[in-house]
């Protein structure tokens, strides 16, 4: 085991700094638990989508959105991040619900240099 250089180790210099270290350690544990819950729920939803089970995927989507909203409300993750992840999950569920429809690519009109100069 390699120990860090003693000059690189940062220790608190005051009682209030020691308390902040203790508080940060506790809060980091709580935040990591919440983030782990989000990842677990998203993973469960994605496995239901992969399995093609629409009913289970809908149930997992409700569970995942609930935990995302709760974690965003506690500011563990940014609310925009939660919204983006919920949108991603909803798009995946909608793609599972709807039959695969191939959409034709609409050709774009290209403007030639002659039409620009005229």
Q: Tens of pLDDT along the chain (118 residues)?
A: 666 676 677 889 999 999 999 999 999 999 999 999 999 999 999 999 999 999 999 999 999 999 999 999 999 999 999 999 999 999 999 999 987 756 566 667 766 666 555 5
SS3 readout for 12-69: CCCHHHHHHHHHHHHHHHHHHHHHHHHHHHHHHHHHHHHHCCHHHHHHHHHHHHHHHH
Instruction: Tell me if 104 is assigned to some domain.
Output: no
Closest CA to 90 of 48, 50, 58: 58
Domain span holding position 29 = 21-96
Q: How many domains does the chain have?
A: 1
CATH number of the domain bearing residue 82:
1.20.58.110
Tell me the whole-structure pTM to 2 decimals: 0.73
Instruction: Tell me if 86 is assigned to some domain.
Output: yes
Instruction: Tell me if 64 is assigned to some domain.
Output: yes
């Amino acid at each position: 085991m390699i120990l860090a250089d003693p000059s690189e180790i940062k220790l608190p210099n005051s009682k209030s700094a020691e308390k902040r270290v203790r508080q940060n350690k506790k809060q980091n544990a709580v935040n990591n638990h919440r983030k782990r819950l989000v990842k677990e729920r998203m993973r469960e939803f994605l496995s239901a989508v992969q399995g093609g089970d629409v009913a289970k995927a809908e149930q997992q989507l409700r569970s995942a959105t609930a935990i995302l909203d709760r974690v965003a409300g506690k500011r563990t993750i940014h609310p925009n991040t939660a919204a983006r992840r919920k949108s991603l999950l909803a798009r995946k569920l909608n793609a599972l619900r709807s039959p695969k429809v191939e959409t034709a690519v609409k050709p774009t009109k290209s403007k030639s240099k002659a039409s620009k100069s005229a």
